[in-house]
Structure 1
Amino acid sequence: MPNNCYISFFLFIPLLLSLQPKSYAQSTKQSDGEHQILLGLKKHWGRSSPALSRWNSTSAAHCNWGGVTCTNGAVTGISLANQFFVKPIPPSLCLLKDLTSLDLSYNNFSTSFPITLYNCSKLNYLDLSNNLFVGKLPDDINSLSLQIEHLNLSTNRFWGRIPPSIGLLPRLKSLLLDTNGFDGSYPAEGISNLSNLKVLTLAFNPLIPAPVPEGFGKLTHLIYLWLDNMNIIGEIPENLSNLSDLQLLSLAGNKIQGTIPNWIWQLKKLRYLYLYDNNFTGAIADNITALDLAEIDLSSNKLTGTIPGDFGKLTNLTFLFLYANEVCGSIPLNIGLLPNLKDIRLFNNNLSGSLPPELGKHSLLVNFEIANNNFSGELPEGLCSNRELLDIVVFNNSLSGKLPESLDGCNKF
């Protein structure tokens, strides 16, 4: 008589197989389908791509292919930057139903904006920067996935206005539209309503002249604001002082007037401040609590007054550019004590007095330019104490004495 245990076991096997979850079969089918989609991308874009050339049709492990990211066996990310792609983005790409991240930057796409990406319904990261995309952005660009958080269209050839519907992508945290040919208006109100924005770049676009929108003061999560060379006029609005998380503020190459607001020097997280090539006037505030500042460029304005003594408190400061202004007085002595100062450019001002004797002793000074001022006395003896100095430009002053002996040992001079 057969053992009832064995009978039970063999009866249980078909029962077990019949109870296998359908998701297993579905996931296998999805994996096979995604494998074929990826091979189709390889066929479409060609084998000259460094990454695609290693996609092997005989290998089932497409999740291990270069540029492919999978989560639980499903393709969720495609990163194929710098692959020399020319052919348009094919509709089949969005058949990868779980695709959340797509990076096709640094290629040679030259079509209009690829609206086929509207079908990538789970996309939250899209980088099409540094290509040759042309034309106007579509008015319905909000047809992109509403889950999108990062949209980078910088360094292309888009032109026309920036559509207001871009303000209807509610989860955007990064919006990069710089370095294009946008020559119309931009939807200041719509962008101002993107309350989650942390990164906003509109720089290097020949937009219609306009002030910095006051509504940008509502973007209180911003850490990176790059608005260079976009025809900004008027003064910096007071309500930008609400942007207390800012680490970079760059408004260079515009036609901004008025004084540099005192509140800028109170932004405690600010590290990079670029306001050069504008029409700022007046003195620089001397009550600086933005002590994390590492780079300051206020050059090519119409600034007057003296160099603030509080600059000597900025122990993270690596470069200080104040050239081509009307700044007067002397260089504060404590600037010579800054431990990270590498580059100081103060030429073409009305500065005078002796140079701080400690300059060059406490940091790896690389560049020192003070030409066309009224400095007197000798060059600091330790100017090249750390042997990193590459450039020293001091002509048209009233300096006297011998050259510092440290210059003899400056192996890069």
Structure 2
Amino acid sequence: QSFSCAANPPNGTNIGIMIATDPNPEQTLRYNITGGNTNNAFYILSATGMIRVASSSAVNPGVFNLTVRVTDNGSPAMWSEATATVTVGGGSNLPPVITNQSFSIAANPPGGTQVGTVVATDPNAGQTISFSITSGNTNNAFNISPSSGLITVGNSSAVNPGVFTLTVRATDNGSPVMWSQATVSITVTASGGNLPPVVVNQSFSCAANPPIGTNIGIMIATDPNPEQTLRYNITGGNTNNAFYILSATGMIRVASSSAVNPGVFILTVRVTDNGSPVMWSEATATVTVGGGNKNGLVEDGFTPESKVDPVFNIFPNPSSDGIYTLSAENFEDEAVIQIFDLAGKMVSEVNNFSGDRVSINLEAMPKGVYMIRITAGSFTKTIKAIKQ
């Protein structure tokens, strides 16, 4: 969920309420902030989910991505987490809009080789954007042009096969200065053309404390190179070695029954091929552990027992003419689609959407950033659309 406020508001200022529901009747929910609260800028009311200012001097222009945990009072207690994005500005200055982007390049190209240009826009007319890489740039493999966002090779010997996950910051020149960040993934392929495996984030669930060896689920991955084989291993998130994964098949199993307690495990799974050179990719396997009690539902997602979450995408984005296509995968419900401008005014609406794609027409609207909200029952998803 997303909120905004001016810079340095008085302590106690209301920012917004995190909305959550519980599928178990008559249970109560409690809220707490578990991450992203730089300098303890905010606090949250445990009983209501209201986010408030805790330290006025810490609420400076920029974006806070707070992790909020919602816990029920069932037996056993269950919880879910979601992100509360708080945009802090001054006056009417809004932060740049930048989305995750991907590029690819062959291994060890000459210094200065162009990789791709990071695209960002600013909803404030007349402002300029500067770009910088803030993390993930191992051995200074890449450079980015502050003015254009063009990524080039900085250290040829460091650009080896694999995937670089760069964090790129886009900063405007407004008053106060505002910025946003996104992930730029650069896949480096070998000169022989070996490509890394393809694996996406996946979700599973199980009861608490199942017997050792219980099957949790299979991580599905593919390799774009014919006749190669894949190997799987868990590289992170496996608290108390609760699980293990079969190297040859990707089946996740219980390793320690006593460690599989109610909550959510976010395992990092690496999939490695046997090409030359060896290539690998990583994704998360989210394992929700419960008992008879179901997890609470935090807005912006389905309940954890859903096997496959719906996926919504909009393209082209940005759009030059304001004509978009919204696509839906793994979605079998009926939704209402509402489009809002940055002032919060609804400018368009689509009712009773139940297919796999729909056209959205903002041709008559001015250039800028729009928020597309998809609502189906208690499920809500918001996507940014940019008209250039």
Higher strand share: 2
Which structure shows the higher helix fraction? 1
| TM-score scaled by length of structure 1 | 0.20
Structure of higher CA gyration radius: 1
